[in-house]
Structure 1
Amino acid sequence: MLTLYIHPLASFCHKVLISLYESELAFEARTVDFADPGSAAAHVERWPLGKIPVLHDSETGRVIPETSIIIEYLQTRHPEHFHFLPDDAGQQLDTRLWDRFYDLHVSVPMQKIVTDRIRPADAADPYGVAEAHEALETAYGMIEGQLSGKTWAVGEDFNLADCAAFSALFFASVVHPIGDERPALRSYLDRLLQRPSVARVIDEARPFFRFFPYKEALPERFREKTE
């Protein structure tokens, strides 16, 4: 009934996969191979922007893009499985805020740093990369303050913001290390890594880590299994 179009190395796909593994909702994951013209063309027909992940619900016939919208859609359709937005209106706003924060202010600068490494030398953007590092430094400081006294991103319950947080922080912490001066953030990332849903996402991504442009900077516990 539910088909999720993904690539196992794509951090935004990890966000939705974590929510699905947490909920134990049945679905089929299909990898989009952008190097295969047929696979790429089929996905562009599905969603002309060509971005992943994209969810197809065969029961309703709907194609749902964008990670946060996919998760909210699944909560609306399957409330018995999905509960990633709190019932309290104030906590909902906080959850949506930090969900967007991790997507826009951690994932986006992280991706700028990563993609610049694979650009041709004459198209490199050192100024943009320096800005991205500065943005991550600012974001880390804000997250450190936000996490004070909390187990998860906005309180004691794992929710949408935590799904976004892992997908952003895992690769961001590789290209821009968190540092010992942010113990709350470091502990939070460790808690995320211990989550069974997150461990499953990492295991599925392991065969693809060798394609990550900063693979030499991945923690040893991940690199050892990819080399």
Structure 2
Amino acid sequence: MMLIFYGHPFSSYSWKAQIALYEKGLDFEYRNVDPEFPAHAKELYALWPAGKFPLLVDGDKTWFETSIVVEYLDRVQPEPRMIPEDADAALKVRQMDRVFDLHVMAVVQDIVNDRIRGPEGHAPMIVEKAKAGLDTIYAWLDKELAGDGWATPAGFTLADCAAAPSLFYADWVHEIPAHYENLRAYRARLLARPSVVRAVDGGRPYRSYFPGGAPDRD
């Protein structure tokens, strides 16, 4: 039975799971939850009342929360592994996954939400705090990612699946300074990865959705 994936082609967290699916070469049915396809959203809410995506269906199993979806994919198709079998290496991957989700993407969302609220709801304190938070994590990541590899020594993993959309959108809302050469180079490596290229290209038709307008790059 084919995997069924509920997501949106412009969603960062959808990308995170899609990248793992593409890395593993798994066939799946993509059910786009864009308003253009209202039936898919109804199915999603029936499966998970919170209505959050992505969501993966494999027969009688339903999985949500992106890191869990990616971890499940290691059971479906063990290679290439997204989480190493070695316990310490796996912890490092999970730790970096949390860094990208909680300290990059969640902070980016604060800035995006401010743009969605518009001038009447603009909260400068929230935006400045978010930008300061990104500055802090950019500096840390630039040191942590020194070299020409991936997020951890384990190769391309869950951590990089999280990093790709996080850094893609982070650079849109608060550009990574030029002096963070390691971090900028890592972002460039991610965006050159075929699985990431595929996710980015899938979202191109929806760039008009980006609050404040998408930059004319990437």
Shorter-normalised TM range:
over 0.9
**Identity across the alignment (%):** 42
Contact 1:174 1:218 in 2 (8 A): no
Instruction: Please state whether the residue corresponding to 2:117 is helix, strand or coil.
Output: coil
Once the two structures are superposed, the pairs formed by residues 12-161 of structure 1 within 5 Å of their partners are 12-34=13-35, 38-58=39-59, 61-79=60-78, 81-155=79-153, 157-161=155-159
Q: CA separation in 1, counterparts of 2:35 and 2:44? A: 9
Q: Distance in 2 between matches of 1:165 and 1:190?
A: 11
Range with bigger deviation, 201-210 or 37-46: 37-46
The size of the alignment, in residue pairs, is 217
Partner of 1:183: 181
SS of aligned partner of 2:199? helix
Task: Report the secondary structure of 1:3's partner residue.
Answer: strand
Is 1:6–1:30's contact at 8 Å kept on the other side of the alignment? yes
Write the letter of the residue equivalent to 1:64: W
3-state DSSP of counterpart to 1:207: helix
Per the alignment, residue 174 of structure 1 pairs with 172
What residue ranges of structure 1 are gaps of 5+ in the alignment? 223-227
What is the SS of the residue equivalent to 2:6?
A: strand
Instruction: Please report the TM-score for the alignment, with normalisation by the length of structure 1.
Output: 0.90
Letter in 1 for 2:47: R
Change (3 A) 1:141 1:7: same
Q: Which moved more, 1:185-194 or 1:114-123?
A: 114-123
CA contact (8 A) 1:52 1:65 kept: yes
Q: Distance in 2 between matches of 1:20 and 1:215?
A: 29
For the 8 Å contact 1:55–1:70, the answer to whether it is kept is yes
The code of the aligned residue for 2:34 comes to D
Deviations 1:26-61 (A, max 9, x none): 111110135766543332221111111000111xx0
1:100-122: CA deviation from partner (whole Å, max 9, x where unpaired)? 11000000011111121011433
Q: State the one-letter code of the partner of 2:94.
A: R
TM-score by length of 2: 0.93
Give 2:196's match in structure 1, choosing from 195, 198, 209.
Answer: 198
Alignment partners' CA distance in 2, 1:37 and 1:15 = 23
Q: For the Cα contact (< 8 Å) 1:175–1:214, is it kept in 2?
A: no
- In structure 2, do the counterparts of structure 1 residues 216 and 56 end up closer, same or farther at CA, with 3 Å as the change threshold? closer
